[in-house]
Structure 1
Amino acid sequence: MTSGDEVRPEDDEVWLDDDAGRLVRPYTVTAGRTHPTVELDMLTLMVSVRLSPALDVEYTRALELCRTPTSVAEVAAHLRLPTAVTKVLLSDLVERGVMAVQEARIAADPTDRALLEALLDGLQRV
Structure 2
Amino acid sequence: MRTEPPGPQHEWLDGAAGPVVRPYTLTGGRVRSAADSFDLVAFVLAGSPPDAADPQLPPEHRRLVELAHRPVPLAELAAELDLAVGVVRVLLGDLLARGLVAVHEPPTAAHLPHDDILKAVVSGLRAL
Tell me the TM-score normalised to structure 1 length. Answer: 0.67
Structure number, greater radius of gyration: 1
Q: 1:15 to 1:41 in 2, by over 3 A?
A: closer
Give every structure 1 segment of 4 or more consecutive aligned residues whose post-TM-superposition deviation is greater than 3 Å.
Answer: 103-106, 112-117
Count of paired positions = 103
Tell me the TM-score normalised to structure 2 length. Answer: 0.67
Q: CA deviation at 1:16?
A: 2.3
1:1-126 alignment to 2 at 5 Å?
16-17=14-15, 23-39=20-36, 40-50=38-48, 51-104=53-106, 109-113=112-116, 115=118
Percent identity, please: 36
Q: CA RMSD in A?
A: 2.9
Matched residue SS, 1:54: coil
Contact kept in structure 2, 1:43 and 1:72, CA below 8 Å:
yes
Q: Distance in 1 between matches of 2:115 and 2:54?
A: 44
Q: CA deviation at 1:23?
A: 2.8
Q: Distance in 2 between matches of 1:116 and 1:87?
A: 37
Q: 1:79 to 1:114 in 2, by over 3 A?
A: same
Structure 1 gap segments, 5+ residues each = 1-13, 120-126
